[in-house]
Amino acid sequence: MVKLTKNRKSSLEKYDKEKLYSLKEASDIIKSFSNLKFDSSVDLALNLGVDPKKADQNVRGVVSLPNGTGKDVKVLALVTPDKEDEAKKAGADFVGLDEYLQKNTKLVVLSHLLWNTGQIMPIELISKRLKEHSSKPYLLVDAAQSFCHIPIKSACKNADIYAFTGHKWAYGPEGLGAVVLSARVLEESSPTLIGWKSLKAEEGIHINNKAPFHSDARRFEIATSCIPLLAGLRSSLAMLKNEGNETERFFKIKSLSCILWEKLNQIKNIELVLNSPPPSGIISFTINGNHSPEEVVDYLGKENLWIRVLEDPKWLRACVHITTDSNEIDNLVIGLKNFISTK
């Protein structure tokens, strides 16, 4: 029988496990449990009646707390000196690189392409700095906005972990992503979760086998992959390949982006976030006046024109891809002009 601690016994005495409590009652009871000097966490168990072993039954949830977490969020941008002004304009509270790396820094995480401004981070230069640092931290690059958008070969080569999603700019199905791992990661790390796909052979786990896992990234795979999603992504990548290589596609995206930026720059009451043509297919802006960004998106949506609202800071963001044509750009510009004229 497991021996209960004093704190555990005290907590069990505060509620009746046979009683059904309201949400407020349960919340008050949980709060009374804590005797720590820091903010403790709460685990919530729900029986959803699904089989998590099956890819099509995986459930991902996000909870937005109505009054926030009670803590101020500060953004640290790890960038080289030539990108500090851009990071500050994008809303970073602290900007730098070397001065924020500690002796015990193990991992640096940053985006290859900023989702709000479209600016491209100098992954190669940052990787070089990290390799020269005494702690030699790993570099994890979030490529959600860069994969199939901008050339990625060099950044992928210089990152220890390069992670991307199959949808967004890749036009693939949701629920699928991948990581590219460096030789250093493969040499120095082992899987924390294993399955039959992790092993060289299914009978490979036994006390005398000191190297049961695959030597490459397959060691981090667990079980059967979702083949339909992989097939969908493969079709999307084939479609993109027909439009040219990554350099040719990026040239087209950037050309379209510059056209849209120039047209928006000529509209009174529109303020572009970047004061020069965008480096990628993302253009963020604001519209002066007594209206919310949500009103703009709603108005354009009724005309089948789709842009989105960025929450912090409150900007509007438009994107162009290789499938965007000049008519769509013109229609967006006309839609924005019409919205402004009605206000």
In whole angstroms, give the CA distance from residue 84 to residue 188. Answer: 33
pLDDT computed for residue 79 by the predictor: 73
pLDDT category at 272 given cuts 50, 70, 90 is: very high
Q: What is the DSSP string of 107-123?
A: EEEEESB-TTT-PBP-H
Of 38, 28, 32, 43, the C-alpha closest to 10 is 32
Residue with tokens 């029986």: 47
Q: Which two tokens stand for residue 316?
A: 């509007």
pLDDT category at 191 given cuts 50, 70, 90 is: confident
pLDDT computed for residue 70 by the predictor: 64
Of the chain, the percentage scoring pLDDT greater than 70 comes to 89
Of 265, 244, 263, the C-alpha closest to 148 is 244
Task: Over range 59-86, report the average pLDDT.
Answer: 69
User: Residues 6 or more apart from 239 whose CB is under 8 A from it?
Assistant: 171
Residue with tokens 């001065």: 99
pLDDT computed for residue 55 by the predictor: 56
In whole angstroms, give the CA distance from residue 268 to residue 319. Answer: 21
Q: Which two tokens stand for residue 178?
A: 């991948």
Q: Is 247-342 CATH 3.90.1150.10?
A: yes
Domain ranges of the chain: 76-241, 247-342
Query: Strand 161-165 relative to strand 138-142: parallel, antiparallel, unpaired?
Result: parallel
pLDDT tens-digit map of 75-109: 777 777 777 887 787 778 888 777 777 778 889 99
Check whether 236 has a pLDDT greater than 90.
Answer: yes
pLDDT computed for residue 57 by the predictor: 63
Q: What is the pTM of this model?
A: 0.71
Mean pLDDT, the chain, integer: 86
Using alpha carbons only, give the angle 174, 59, 310 rounded to the nearest 5 degrees: 55
Q: Is 76-241 CATH 2.40.30.10?
A: no
Which of 131-140, 189-198, 312-321 shows the lowest per-residue confidence on average (mean pLDDT)?
189-198
